[in-house]
Amino acid sequence: MRRLYQTIYLTIVATLLLVVLIAGAVWRLGSPVSPFGQALEMAGELAGTALPPANAPREAQQEALDHLARQINADLALFDSESRPIAFTGRPLPPPSRADEGGWIHGRGGPAWSFRLPDMRWVVVRAPRRHRNPAVSLVLFLGVIAFAVAVCAFPVVRGITRRLEKLQAGVETLGAGNLSTRVEVEGRDEVARLAESFNRAAARIEELVAAHRMLLANASHELRTPLSRIRLGIELMSGKPDPKYAADLKRDIAELDGLIDEILLASRIEATGVLQTSEEVDLLALAAEECARYECELGGEPVTMRGDPRLLRRMIRNLLENAERHGKPPVTVNLRRAGDRAVLEVMDAGPGIPAEQREQVFAPFYRLTGDPKGAGLGLSLVRQIARLHGGEAVADAKADAPSCFTVTLPLVRSA
């Protein structure tokens, strides 16, 4: 398989060679009127005035041709009207064609210039040996340029494709299962930006896979506790039916069902990353419906946004359950507008979360030290739902409410 740098490099070299060939062909087959040809034509006219007439003896014509060749330092040949040689000096010259009117003729010794004298004789002249053929000079000059460009282009082309090869190796390593694979970012061009995008994608994949592994590990641990209690309750019920055991079983089954529901919802949100449903939602009405299920106070102003009402309801419910389970009454919910965003605050009278753990409480299955209540997924879902809607959820603390959770969400602007 041909490598990419070879294809690019060979294309450049082939293009340069084509330029050289075309330039040489144009020079060879181009207009016969050139400064060099004009000079030879003038030399031929001067030769016509210096040569004896056509009826002069061959010895006289040869002597005159030799004298003229020494003066202009060129190869000369004299032909009659039938292109038969009369006299010549220097290297052999090709005879002119009787059908031509004069100009360049080509032979084994190189190009020469022919012209017809008024008495129908032909004179053929060739530049001296020490003068290089202009066509050869042009071809050599272009050849040097082509070689220089080829030498300079190779490291550039190879440098680009070498980085692409490193990126390809990184992709193959990542595909083989090594999620910690990263590629070195070299340069500031498109290839460098592609390497940065690959590193970001690889980091995101590694983060998602690690989150899924942790979710599975923690889920298996959390599911084991209610299942053990259910198994124990069934054994006790089989020996001695008791309404207390039945109530405990129902509570354990409800806890298990809620835990499974939260695990599935968290996995679905993380897998899709986009809202499945989007419609106009009155946040104050949703908060009022959820507050009716708990002992809490609701205040604020009507706020409308666009989002998934089912997920937003779950977000508010999880915040209220967290306040009821881990905080102290009274629980207060406040909704207000702050510029182009809605701010939802859920506060209780509890001691609040230590400053160093305010970010960790949003991690899946995280519990505060010494607090065995819950599975640790409620607040994680709150942040996931908030970010899915373009917002954010944080653990805050106020002077009058040390335990406070604040969710900011973007509003719908009227057209």
Instruction: Give exposure, 375-393, as e/b (b: 16+ Cβ within 10 Å).
Output: bbbbbbbbbbbbebbebeb
List the domains of the chain with CATH numbers.
31-131 (3.30.450.20), 194-272 (1.10.287), 279-410 (3.30.565.10)
Cα–Cα distance measured from residue 245 to residue 234, given in angstroms and rounded to the nearest whole number:
8
Structure tokens at 403: 């335990």
In the prediction, which pLDDT does 383 show? 92
Query: What letter does residue 275 receive in the DSSP assignment?
Result: -
- Farthest-apart Cα atoms in the chain, separation: 151
**Global pTM value:** 0.49
Check pLDDT > 90 for residue 409: yes
With beta carbons less than 8 A apart as the criterion, state whether 120 and 84 touch.
no
With beta carbons less than 8 A apart as the criterion, state whether 149 and 11 touch.
no
Confidence tier at 374 by pLDDT (50, 70, 90): low
Among the residue ranges 45-54, 325-334, 366-375, the one predicted with the least confidence is 366-375
214-266, pLDDT tens digit by residue?
666 666 656 666 777 777 777 766 666 667 767 777 777 776 777 677 777 77
Cα–Cα distance measured from residue 379 to residue 262, given in angstroms and rounded to the nearest whole number:
11
321-339, pLDDT tens digit by residue?
888 888 888 899 999 999 8
Mean pLDDT of 16-37: 64
In the prediction, which pLDDT does 320 show? 92
Cα–Cα distance measured from residue 205 to residue 192, given in angstroms and rounded to the nearest whole number:
20
Check pLDDT > 80 for residue 405: yes
Which residue's entry shows tokens 């509570």? 251
Structure tokens at 255: 């806890």
156-203, pLDDT tens digit by residue?
777 777 888 888 898 888 888 888 888 888 877 777 888 889 899 888
Confidence tier at 118 by pLDDT (50, 70, 90): confident
What mean pLDDT value characterizes the chain? 79
Q: Helices 35-50 and 58-72 sit at what angle, rounded to 10 degrees? A: 140
Query: What letter does residue 414 receive in the DSSP assignment?
Result: P
Which residue's entry shows tokens 């990353």? 273
